């Protein structure tokens, strides 16, 4: 699992965006269970089922994670519409998810499904 918070500075607890990821792999190393939640990208923190579905059953790699980031950006826009902050948030949320997924996938001791 991994959690990444984007903020102005470490001393300030307010997040500009945050993403939490939980991954579980099957015996082949594919992603068996995926949970992706994001804060400050929608009206309230929430899980993103479309992103989770795009990852489930696939072998983790950088391209897959980049694609998932683009799906998250599309979902953010679908939920909130295009706003003044969209040109900033769209690429940042995509990159932040890819980074969080990479961190979660590389964590030692990632749980394997039985």
Residue 16 sits in a domain whose CATH number is: 3.30.390.50
The pLDDT assigned to 113 comes to 43
| Residue 113 within a domain | no
The pLDDT assigned to 112 comes to 43
Number of domains in the chain: 1
User: What is the value of pTM for the model shown?
Assistant: 0.88
**How many other C-beta atoms lie within 10 A of the C-beta of residue 12?**
9
How does pLDDT run across 52-92, given as a tens digit for each residue? Answer: 999 999 999 999 999 999 999 999 999 999 999 899 999 99
The arithmetic mean of pLDDT across residues 39-60, rounded, is 96
Range of the domain at 80: 2-106
| Residue 80 within a domain | yes
39, 17 in Cβ contact below 8 A? yes
């Amino acid at each position: 699992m991994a959690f990444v918070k984007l903020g102005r500075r470490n001393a300030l607890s307010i997040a500009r965006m945050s993403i939490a990821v939980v991954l579980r792999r099957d015996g082949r190393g594919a992603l068996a269970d995926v949970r992706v939640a994001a804060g400050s990208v929608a009206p309230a923190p929430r899980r993103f089922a479309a992103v989770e579905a795009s990852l489930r059953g696939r072998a983790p790699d950088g391209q897959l994670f980049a694609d998932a980031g683009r799906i998250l950006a599309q979902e953010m826009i679908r939920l909130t519409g295009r706003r003044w902050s969209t040109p900033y948030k769209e690429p940042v949320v995509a990159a932040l998810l890819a980074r969080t997924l990479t961190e979660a996938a590389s964590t030692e001791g990632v749980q394997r499904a039985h």
